[in-house]
């Protein structure tokens, strides 16, 4: 009789221990180890075999033609790197109810309309419930196959029998492998099921989407190796009370990373936003101080974003610093620069900084815009509504150059902005026919003089 091994596995990182411990020795999480039954020796499940390849010079490697299939949604195609790649594995995560299943069901509809077979595997809903959601989204196609299944062996059998172009697993935490004696959603189940599904995708040429649950910290639940195995990792972001959703790329082997796709949740599903810059610019900015427009980059896309700041006298001993949408430490640095280099007395002022629309801006090119909004609110000076700011601010008060300046300025010109405050070093080599007036600044004090 074979001996069954008992191990304790961390549900965050997959670290194993022969005895229970209160704190994981891998990631340091408390109370995260759960007892699991190891696979007895000699009874392990045989994974899919891959034909052996011998080493060869890279110059003699033949490239395979893998044309991408357009999904019918330009925003989705762009963040995937041009479309759906045969044999690719895409991991998509997000909070419950944000629209993961809705988006993937729409993608299945667009692909199936072109004559390709798609397979939607639902592990959380019944087939009837999926049909109700499909009718609400007006999704009807004979090439869209639906099955409610959580057993991995049956899912792999369906994939081999139907040979679909696209497979959606909703969700990977619900799938279990009968040869592994642990509950669905555990590290062992998630890791092995994902590995087998991705292996089948590579061998059959079927593209596969894996829907992943997220933890309270906002990361995909399960071992981190799950993101390493996938070709593309997408995160759905969005506020609960807003209709806009942001699909962010954090890993992509077939395209650029840090791309975002912006969608609007409507009655008939998620619809791409054609002009995303307009949703991040409010209509009341023309009459209030402490508001400025910056041009930031998200991957290969330029976005115009409105930054708002409110500076008011502190009524209590310790002034408050509240930040939303930008890095708190960077705002603190800019406040110190304004007080030291410009002479603004901000030590006794409450400062609030916010990005309109709920988008997160992380790049240093937003420094100049942040500094201008704080200065505008402190001096009660309204910044002209046709000015856009681009530039990084150094500790000495200098305004440093940023990358991809022409793409930023073209987006500003397209939306009707007449003037741009840019670093002087960025004006070298810029085409003169951009249709927007450039104001060069070397120091932050020069930009402050512009608004008076």
Half-sphere exposure of 414 (CA within 13 A, CB side): 14
pLDDT given for residue 254 in this prediction: 87
| Residue 241, pLDDT above cutoff 70 | no
- pLDDT greater than 70 at residue 240: no
Closest to 190 measured CA to CA, from 209, 212, 168: 212
Contact 209, 103 (CB under 8 A): no
CB 306 within 8 A of CB 282: yes
The answer to whether 97 is annotated as binding is: yes
- Read off the pLDDT band of 177 (50, 70, 90): very high
* pLDDT in the model for residue 279: 78
Work out the burial of residue 182: count CB atoms within 10 Å of its CB; fewer than 13 is exposed, 13-18 middle, 19 or more buried: buried
Q: Are strands 244-252 and 232-237 parallel, antiparallel or unpaired?
A: antiparallel
Q: Does residue 99 have a known ligand-binding role? A: yes
pLDDT, tens digit, 9 for 90 and up, residues 294-341: 999 887 788 899 999 999 999 877 899 999 999 999 999 999 999 999
pLDDT confidence tier of residue 355, bands split at 50, 70 and 90? very high
Residue 100 annotated in ligand binding = yes
How much is the average pLDDT of 344-355?
A: 94
In whole angstroms, what is the distance from residue 213 CA to residue 230 CA?
A: 15
What pLDDT does residue 92 have?
95
169 annotated binding-site participant? no
Tokens for 123, please give them. Answer: 């592990």
* CB-based contact 12:29 (threshold 8 Å): yes
Q: Cα–Cα distance between 138 and 143 in angstroms, integer?
A: 15
Which residue, 70, 400, 14, 370, is CA-closest to 192? 14
DSSP string, 362-407: -SGGGHHHHHHHHHHHHHT-PPPTTEEE--EE-TTSBEE--S-HHH
Mean pLDDT across the chain: 87
pLDDT for res 3: 53
Given this model, what pLDDT does residue 286 score?
57
**Is residue 101 a known part of a binding site?**
yes
For residues 227 and 208, what is the distance between their CA atoms, to the nearest angstrom? 14
pLDDT attached to residue 364: 93
Rounded CA-CA distance 23/164 in Å is 44
Position 163 scores a pLDDT of: 93
Q: Classify strands 144-148 and 166-170 as parallel, antiparallel or unpaired.
A: unpaired
User: What pLDDT sits at residue 29?
Assistant: 82
Handedness of CA 241, 244, 250, 252 (dihedral sign): positive
Tell me, what's the pLDDT at 260?
Answer: 84
Binned at pLDDT 50, 70 and 90, residue 45 comes out as very low
Question: Number of helices (H) and strands (E), helices first, in the chain?
Answer: 10, 21
- Residue 449 is inside which H or E element, if any? helix 444-451
The most confident of the ranges 5-9, 25-29, 168-172, 313-317 is 168-172
* pLDDT above 90: percentage of residues in the chain: 49
Read off the pLDDT of each residue in 180-186 and give the average, rounded to a whole number. Answer: 83
* Mean pLDDT across 160-186: 90
- For residue 22, pLDDT over 50 is answered with yes
Instruction: Check the annotation: does 3 bind a ligand.
Output: no
Q: What is the pLDDT of residues 245-300, one digit of tens each?
A: 889 898 999 888 878 888 988 888 899 887 888 778 865 555 688 999 999 988 77
DSSP letter for 10, please: E
357 labeled part of a ligand binding site:
no
Residue 19 confidence (pLDDT): 87
Residue 394 counted as an annotated binding residue = no
- Cα distances from 413 to residues 179, 390, 393, 434, in angstroms, run 60, 13, 23, 7
For residue range 420-429, what is the model confidence (pLDDT) as tens digits? 999 999 888 7
């Amino acid at each position: 009789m074979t001996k069954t091994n008992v191990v304790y596995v961390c549900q965050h990182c997959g670290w194993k221990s022969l005895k229970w411990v209160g704190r994981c020795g891998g990631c340091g999480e408390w109370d995260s180890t759960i007892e699991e039954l190891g696979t007895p020796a000699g009874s392990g499940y045989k994974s899919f075999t891959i034909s052996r390849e011998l080493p060869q010079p890279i110059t003699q490697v033949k490239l395979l033609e893998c044309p991408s299939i357009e999904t019918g949604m330009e925003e989705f195609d762009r963040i995937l790197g041009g479309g759906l790649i045969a044999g690719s594995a895409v991991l998509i995560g997000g909070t419950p109810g944000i629209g993961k299943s809705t988006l993937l069901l729409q993608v299945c509809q667009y692909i199936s309309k072109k004559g390709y077979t798609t397979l939607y595997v639902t592990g959380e809903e019944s087939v009837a419930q999926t049909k109700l959601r499909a009718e609400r989204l007006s999704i009807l196609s004979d090439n869209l196959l639906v099955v409610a299944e959580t057993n991995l062996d049956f899912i792999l059998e369906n994939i081999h029998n139907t040979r679909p172009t696209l497979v959606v697993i909703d969700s990977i935490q619900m799938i279990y492998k009968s040869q592994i004696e642990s509950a669905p959603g555990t590290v062992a189940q998630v890791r092995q099921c994902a590995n087998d599904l991705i292996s089948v995708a590579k061998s059959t040429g079927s593209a596969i989407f894996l829907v992943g649950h997220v933890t309270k910290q906002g990361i995909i639940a399960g071992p981190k190796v799950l993101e390493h195995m996938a070709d593309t990792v997408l995160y759905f972001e969005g506020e609960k009370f807003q209709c806009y959703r942001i699909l962010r790329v954090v890993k992509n082997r077939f395209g650029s990373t840090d791309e975002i796709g912006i969608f609007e949740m409507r009655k008939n599903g998620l619809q791409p936003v054609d002009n995303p810059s307009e949703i991040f610019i409010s209509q009341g900015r023309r009459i209030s101080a402490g508001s400025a427009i910056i041009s930031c980059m998200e991957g290969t896309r330029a976005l115009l974003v409105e930054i708002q700041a409110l500076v008011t006298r502190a009524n209590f001993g310790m002034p408050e610093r509240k930040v939303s949408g930008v890095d708190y430490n960077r705002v603190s640095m800019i406040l110190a620069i304004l007080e030291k280099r410009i002479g603004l007395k901000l030590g006794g002022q409450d400062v609030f900084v916010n990005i309109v629309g709920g988008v997160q801006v992380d790049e240093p090119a937003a420094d100049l815009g942040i500094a201008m909004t704080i200065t505008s609110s402190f001096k009660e000076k309204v910044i002209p509504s046709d000015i856009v700011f681009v530039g990084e601010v150094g500790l000495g008060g200098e305004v440093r150059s940023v990358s991809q300046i022409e793409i930023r300025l073209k987006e500003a010109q397209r939306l009707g902005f007449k003037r741009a405050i840019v670093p002087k070093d960025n004006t070298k080599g810029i085409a003169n026919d951009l249709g927007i007036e450039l104001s060069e600044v070397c120091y932050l004090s020069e930009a402050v003089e512009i608004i008076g």
